Amino acid sequence: SHAWGYGPYNGPETWEKGFPVANGPRQSPINIIPNQALYERSLKPLKLKYDPSNSSSILNNGHSFQVDYVDDENTSTLTAGPISGIYRLKQFHFHWGASDDRGSEHTVKGFMFPCELHLVHWNTKYPSFGEAASQPDGLAVVGVFLKGKQYIFENFDPKTLLPVSLDYWTYDGSLTTPPLLESVTWIVLKEPICVSPAQMAQFRSLHFNAEGEAPCCMVDNYRPPQPLKGRVVRSSFK
Ligand SMILES: CCN[C@H]1CN(CCOC)S(=O)(=O)c2sc(S(N)(=O)=O)cc21
Ligand SMILES: [Zn+2]
C-alpha cells in the first residue's frame, strides 16, 4: 500500500483504508468552540520544564520537520495541567498551509491559523515512548497556534516557543497523523505565538520528497477537524 501523506491520492480522506481508527470515537484535531467549552476550576496550570541541552536532532521526516529530544531522564517534562504523573518531551513539530489562510490542525470557531506547533510528551508510567503511544493516557501533546507577525527568537529552547499565557483547552483525542492512535490528551493553548512571513516562507520551502526527486513543496500537511462524537472540551480559564 502506498505511504500516507497529504496529497489528493494519499491524504486524510484516504487514511481510513490503512487505519480504520480514523473513524474512532476520539480523533483529532477538532474545531474548538470557546463558549461551548466547560470551565473547570479544578484544572491546574500547566507545568512545563525544558532543558535545551536535551535537544538532539532536527529532521524532515517527509510529513513535517521535527526536533527530537533525548528522553531517558525527567529533565524536559510536562506535569500538572489536566494530566497526572510525569510526561517527558519526545519531539516537537509543526503543521502549516500553503498560504496564511490555512495550516493549523485545530481550529477555533472555524478559524484556521497559518501554522500549529505540537510538543509531544509521553507518560513515564509506561516503560517506553512506543508503549505509551498505544495507551489511552500515554501521550500529552501541547498545541500552540502560530500567526503572522514580525518575531525574533533570542535563543532557541522550546520555552521560547510558548506564549505568555498558558491558558488552555483540553480534550481526549488522537494522533492527527497515522497511526491515528487514540492515546493523546490534547492541551491546546489559547494564546498564539508570532512568526514572521519570512519564517513561514522557510517552512513552505521544505519538501515532502527526497533530494534528487522532482521537488514537491511541504505545504498543507494538516488533517482537517474530526467529529467531536460527544466529547466535552474543558478550559482552564473563564
Ligand atoms: C509523522 C508521524 N507522526 C506521528 C509519529 N508518532 C507516533 C508514533 O507511533 C508509534 S508521534 O507520537 O511522535 C506523533 S505525535 C503526532 S501529532 N500530530 O498528533 O502531534 C503525530 C505523531
Ligand atoms: Zn502534529
Please report the ipTM that was assigned to this predicted complex.
0.98
Q: Looking at residue 211, what is its pLDDT? A: 85
Cβ atoms of 173 and 186 within 8 Å: the answer is yes
Give the residue whose CA is nearest to atom 16 of ligand 1.
175
Q: Which residues are catalytic?
A: 63, 126
Show the low-confidence residues of the chain (pLDDT under 50): 151, 154-155
From 117, 120, 116, 93, select the one nearest 103 (Cα to Cα): 116
CA of 69 to the centre of ligand 1 (A): 14
Q: Looking at residue 157, what is its pLDDT? A: 81
DSSP code string of 41-60: TTSPPEEEE--GGGEEEEEE
Q: Looking at residue 154, what is its pLDDT? A: 46
Separation CA 133–CA 52 (nearest Å)? 24
CA of 41 to the centre of ligand 1 (A): 30
C-alpha cell at 62: 517527509
C-alpha cell at 35: 463558549
Q: Looking at residue 166, what is its pLDDT? A: 98
Separation CA 133–CA 89 (nearest Å)? 13
Q: Looking at residue 155, what is its pLDDT? A: 47
Q: Looking at residue 135, what is its pLDDT? A: 98
On the 0-12 / 13-18 / 19+ scale of CB atoms within 10 A, 218 is buried
Q: Looking at residue 160, what is its pLDDT? A: 85
